[in-house]
């Protein structure tokens, strides 16, 4: 946005001040995430930069905390649990959520608003309330402190994301494609797999990614519905910060930032593909 | 009447002749209705599995919690005899119950001591009146030694609280299957000895204040988020697409990063020997002893939560600002408005839907936040959610936890209805 020739000095000054303010806000957003990366290569068990690190002395850096992460059984158990719980809850959420989104996108759905309200309620209710309710209820069913309990809880929490993303994909869905397919002799099953699935797949995948991230990041419900046996990475980080702060948490955090970057890239690519498929320009 | 009927006949008669039918002879109307019903059933069948799943795994727990807040079955279950006998006793009088009721109490205590269940009654009543837990523990230990009637004398001799009319009034009041006391306690109220509802003692009034603090701090966080989000959303919406697509990554990356990672990094930055304090000491802004305490208090909670919730403000604002044509501002300028006036009178009113959506969203998320206040909030930066967690896992007063959670839920639902009015549930977008 080059400044036109007729701008006054005052406008120029404001223009650049505004940019500086925005730069500072962007810095506020991104700096805390970037700062933990060098901190995780610390040699000492503190969350600070040592003088050696500041003078860029190679002696000041180590992989000590990464080694701890990859050898410590507590952390390894947490990684295993995180993946098991996230994968199974994503499968349940994606399957049920996609079916429901297909139903919701049909032209005649009775009580659509009410149904939608119920289906996305897990997203609206604050996590602490969901966690409290599930803790009480799952204790009655002996599901508290089991993997199944946590998986069911996470699946419930992530379905709204699948419903919303898949419904959004279906908004621009051209119904005549289904009729064309039937007209050309395809059975409903063939139509579903050859026509509907490829078109809604980007939505389903990004819904599944949202579901996966919801479960993978979720800590409140795990704290209550799960126990040590179901500890996930966020669970372990939470109790780590509360009890004994060790830079292993920073190493884990750095790895999670890398995961976040990969997720962001995938979702962004999917979104662009989806828009290209529907004939819109990527924006 | 007769005229009207005749009119109807005249009106409908020609229509019947022209009725349209489908190929198999059924009237078109019937056939279409049947098709519509089939269509509706098919849609509902697709939705049903998820609906049931949410009902069982999510909604039933919430309703169960509503019930937990009034649940008082401990009393009729483990004090069944006393509770029944007390029905005839008059709590407004000044006389403690007579021997027959004490005999029932003795039997309840004896059975409860054998099954080790009487402690639960003590724990339940202790929420209402301190000292009850120890009374029942003592009774559990000593009731075996009492053998012969009169039980009234023996029990009062064992602990004189059994002779206190207020103990009996309490048991009488809490004898039912349901209780109001948790919901009252959540509002800093209690029922006194005479059965009237009054405010809790001054020192024990914490929850209303805590709800107030939660709402106040959330409002503050929301306002700060708005102030920070507005300029960058504006910048993002005016820059060329190529540049803004790169800059928006700076908003989306925090959005996708685990909130524990972000909370951890704020701990690293803000703590006494953290990055910011080290920097300030190095720059000689503060002395070594004068390190700022920015964490484990309100400041820490507000900074970390603003950072965590900022993307939720930027994204709705940005999506609204993107749709405002730049020509509006140019038109205002060419009609003689100075840049400031054009901004305030033309641009800002157009962004109100985005401001509304972002603010309500951030506020809703903020009042229910647990993790960040728990880790960086210390004692004065905690929210109502931290007390719900405390009552679930530390004090084990589940009834009170449930009541507090229900109040919080009520606030969120009211806000959510507001959000629906402003934005609409169906317009909710992700990423």
Alpha carbons B306 and B362: distance in angstroms, whole number: 9
Query: Is residue A76 over pLDDT 50?
Result: yes
Confidence grade of residue B142 (pLDDT, cut at 50, 70, 90): confident
Tell me, yes or no, whether B213 and B143 share the same domain. Answer: no
Does A61 touch chain B if contact means CB atoms closer than 8 Å? Answer: no
Asked if B182 contacts B399 with a C-beta cutoff of 8 angstroms, the reply is: yes
Tell me, yes or no, whether B33 and B89 share the same domain. Answer: no
Tell me the mean pLDDT in the region A213-223: 92
Tell me, yes or no, whether B417 and B270 share the same domain. Answer: yes
Q: What is the model's pLDDT at position A279?
A: 59
Q: What is the model's pLDDT at position B274?
A: 83
In a domain, residue B195? The reply is no
Query: Is residue B352 over pLDDT 60?
Result: yes
In a domain, residue B278? The reply is yes
Size of interface A-B (CB pairs under 8 A): 274
HSE on the CB side for A206, CA within 13 Å? 25
Query: Is residue B5 over pLDDT 60?
Result: no
Tell me, yes or no, whether B363 and B272 share the same domain. Answer: yes
B239 to chain A: which residues are within 8 Å by CB?
A: 1
Q: What is the model's pLDDT at position B426?
A: 55
Residues B315-338 pLDDT 10s:
999 989 998 998 998 899 899 888
Tell me, yes or no, whether B245 and B103 share the same domain. Answer: no
B338 to chain A: which residues are within 8 Å by CB?
A: none
Nearest to A120 by CA among A194, A214, A184: A214
Which member of A25, A109, A159 has the closest CB to residue B50?
A: A159
Does A269 touch chain B if contact means CB atoms closer than 8 Å? Answer: no
Query: Is residue B363 over pLDDT 80?
Result: yes
| Partners of B198 in beta bridges | B190
Tokens of B79: 């004090």
- Whether B50 sits inside 8 A of A117 (CB atoms) is no
Tell me, yes or no, whether B36 and B113 share the same domain. Answer: no
Does A16 touch chain B if contact means CB atoms closer than 8 Å? Answer: no
Question: Could you list the residue range(s) of the whole structural domain that residue B154 is in?
Answer: 74-176
**A residues 74..113 contacting B (CB < 8 A):** 92, 96-97, 99-100, 102-104, 106-110, 113
Tell me, yes or no, whether B167 and B282 share the same domain. Answer: no
Tell me, yes or no, whether B157 and B43 share the same domain. Answer: no
Tell me, yes or no, whether B240 and B315 share the same domain. Answer: yes
Tell me the mean pLDDT in the region A204-218: 91
Q: What is the model's pLDDT at position B425?
A: 57
Does B339 touch chain A if contact means CB atoms closer than 8 Å? Answer: yes
In a domain, residue B283? The reply is yes
Confidence grade of residue B307 (pLDDT, cut at 50, 70, 90): very high
B264 to chain A: which residues are within 8 Å by CB?
A: 36, 237, 241, 249-250, 253
- How many structural domains are present in chain B? 3
- Whether B252 sits inside 8 A of A264 (CB atoms) is yes
Q: What is the model's pLDDT at position B295?
A: 85
Query: Is residue B9 over pLDDT 50?
Result: no
Tell me, yes or no, whether B101 and B52 share the same domain. Answer: no
Tell me the mean pLDDT in the region A83-100: 96
Q: What is the model's pLDDT at position A221?
A: 94
Tell me, yes or no, whether B168 and B32 share the same domain. Answer: no
DSSP 8-state secondary structure symbol assigned to residue B344: I
Which residue among B131, B154, B176 closes a domain? Answer: B176
Nearest to B122 by CA among B78, B169, B164, B187: B78
Tell me the mean pLDDT in the region B35-63: 93
Mutate to test the interface with A, among B34, B40, B44, B57 (most CBs of A within 10 A): B57
- Whether A36 sits inside 8 A of B264 (CB atoms) is yes
DSSP letter for each residue of A46-100: SSS--HHHHTT-GGG---HHHHHHHH-HHHHHHHHHHHHHHHHHHHHHHHHHHHH
**B residues 7..36 contacting A (CB < 8 A):** 36
Query: Is residue B428 over pLDDT 60?
Result: no
Residues of chain A with pLDDT > 70, as a percent, come to 97
Mutate to test the interface with B, among A25, A244, A265 (most CBs of B within 10 A): A25
B64 to chain A: which residues are within 8 Å by CB?
A: 133, 136-137, 140
Q: Domain A79-245, what architecture?
A: Orthogonal Bundle (1.10)
Average pLDDT, chain B: 86
Q: In terms of CA atoms, which chain B residue is nearest residue A28? A: B307
More confident residue, A267 or B311: B311
Tell me, yes or no, whether B211 and B319 share the same domain. Answer: yes
Query: Is residue B13 over pLDDT 80?
Result: no
Confidence grade of residue B28 (pLDDT, cut at 50, 70, 90): confident
Q: What is the model's pLDDT at position B3?
A: 45
Tokens of B250: 């700076």
Does A39 touch chain B if contact means CB atoms closer than 8 Å? Answer: yes
Sequence-distant (≥ 6) Cβ neighbours of residue A225 within 8 angstroms? A131, A134, A135, A138, A143, A144, A145, A149, A150, A153
Domain boundaries, chain A: 79-245
Tell me the mean pLDDT in the region B260-268: 90
Residues A115-170 pLDDT 10s:
988 998 998 899 999 999 999 999 999 999 999 999 999 999 999 999 988 988 88
- Secondary-structure breakdown of chain B: helix, strand, coil percentages, each rounded to the nearest 5: 75, 0, 25
Tell me the mean pLDDT in the region A206-221: 91
Q: How many residues comprise chain A?
A: 283
Residues A257-274 pLDDT 10s:
998 899 888 888 887 777
Q: What is the model's pLDDT at position A266?
A: 87
Residues B284-305 pLDDT 10s:
888 888 888 888 889 999 999 9
Does A32 touch chain B if contact means CB atoms closer than 8 Å? Answer: yes
Which residue among B153, B176, B199 closes a domain? Answer: B176
A130 to chain B: which residues are within 8 Å by CB?
A: 58, 61-62
Residues B83-133 pLDDT 10s:
888 888 887 877 888 888 888 888 888 888 888 888 888 888 888 888 888
Q: What is the model's pLDDT at position B130?
A: 83
């Amino acid at each position: 946005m080059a400044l036109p020739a007729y701008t006054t000095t005052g406008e120029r000054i404001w223009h650049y001040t505004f940019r500086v303010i925005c730069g500072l806000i962007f810095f506020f957003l991104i700096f805390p995430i970037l700062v933990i990366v060098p901190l995780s290569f610390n040699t000492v068990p503190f969350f600070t930069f040592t003088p050696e690190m500041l003078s860029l002395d190679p002696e000041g850096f180590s992989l000590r905390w990464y080694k701890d992460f990859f050898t410590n059984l507590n952390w390894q158990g947490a990684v295993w649990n995180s993946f098991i719980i996230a994968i199974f809850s994503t499968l349940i959420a994606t399957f049920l959520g996609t079916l429901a989104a297909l139903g919701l996108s049909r032209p005649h759905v009775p009580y659509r608003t009410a149904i939608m309200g119920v289906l996305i309620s897990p997203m609206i209710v604050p996590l602490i309330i969901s966690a409290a309710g599930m803790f009480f209820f799952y204790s009655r069913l002996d599901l508290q402190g089991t993997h199944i309990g946590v998986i069911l809880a996470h699946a419930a929490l992530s379905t709204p994301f699948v419903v919303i993303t898949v419904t959004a994909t279906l908004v621009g869905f051209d119904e005549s494609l289904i009729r064309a397919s039937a007209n050309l002799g395809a059975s409903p099953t063939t139509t579903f797999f050859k026509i509907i699935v490829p078109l809604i797949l980007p939505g389903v995948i990004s819904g599944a990614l949202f579901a996966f991230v919801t479960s993978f990041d979720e800590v409140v419900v795990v704290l209550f519905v799960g126990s040590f046996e179901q500890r996930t990475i966020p669970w372990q980080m939470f109790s780590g910060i509360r009890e004994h702060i060790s830079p292993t948490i920073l190493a884990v955090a750095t790895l999670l930032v890398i995961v976040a970057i990969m997720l962001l890239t995938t979702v962004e690519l999917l979104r662009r593909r989806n828009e290209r498929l529907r004939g819109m320009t990527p924006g | 009447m007769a005229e009207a009927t005749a009119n109807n006949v005249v009106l409908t008669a020609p229509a019947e002749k022209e009725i349209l039918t489908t190929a198999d002879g059924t009237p078109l109307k019937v056939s279409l209705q049947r098709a519509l019903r089939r269509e509706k059933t098919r849609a509902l069948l697709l939705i049903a599995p998820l609906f049931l799943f949410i009902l069982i795994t999510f909604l039933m727990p919430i309703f169960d919690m509503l019930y937990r807040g009034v649940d008082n079955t401990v009393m009729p279950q483990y004090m069944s005899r006393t509770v029944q006998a007390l029905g005839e006793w008059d709590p407004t009088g000044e006389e403690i119950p007579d021997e027959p009721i004490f005999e029932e109490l003795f039997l309840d205590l004896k059975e409860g001591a054998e099954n080790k269940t009487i402690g639960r009654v003590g724990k339940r009543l202790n929420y209402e009146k301190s000292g009850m837990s120890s009374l029942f523990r003592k009774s559990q230990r000593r009731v075996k030694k009492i053998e012969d009637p009169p039980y009234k004398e023996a029990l009062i001799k064992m602990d004189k609280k059994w002779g206190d009319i207020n103990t009996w009034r309490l048991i009488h009041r809490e004898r039912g299957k349901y209780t109001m006391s948790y919901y009252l306690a959540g509002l800093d109220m209690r029922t006194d000895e005479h059965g009237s509802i009054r405010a809790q003692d001054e020192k024990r009034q914490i929850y209303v204040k805590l709800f107030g603090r939660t709402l106040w701090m959330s409002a503050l966080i929301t306002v700060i988020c708005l102030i920070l989000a507005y300029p960058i959303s504006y910048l993002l919406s005016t820059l060329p697409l190529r540049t803004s697509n790169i800059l928006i990554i700076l908003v989306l990356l925090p959005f996708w990063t685990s909130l524990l990672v972000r909370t951890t990094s704020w701990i690293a930055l803000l703590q006494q020997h953290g990055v910011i304090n080290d920097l300030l000491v190095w720059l000689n802004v503060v002395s070594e002893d004068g390190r700022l305490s920015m964490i484990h208090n309100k400041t820490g909670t507000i900074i970390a939560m603003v950072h965590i919730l900022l993307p939720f403000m930027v994204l709705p604002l940005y999506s609204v600002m993107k749709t405002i044509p730049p020509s509006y501002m140019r038109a205002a300028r060419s009609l003689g408005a100075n840049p400031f006036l054009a901004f305030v009178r033309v641009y800002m009113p157009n962004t109100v839907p985005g401001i509304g959506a972002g603010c309500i969203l951030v506020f809703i998320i903020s009042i229910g936040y647990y993790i960040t206040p728990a880790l960086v909030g210390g004692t004065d930066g905690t929210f109502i959610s931290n007390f719900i967690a405390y009552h679930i896992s530390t004090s084990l007063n589940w009834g009170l936890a449930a009541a507090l959670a229900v109040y919080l839920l009520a606030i969120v639902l009211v806000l959510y209805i507001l959000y629906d009015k402003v934005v609409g549930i169906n317009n909710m977008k992700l990423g």
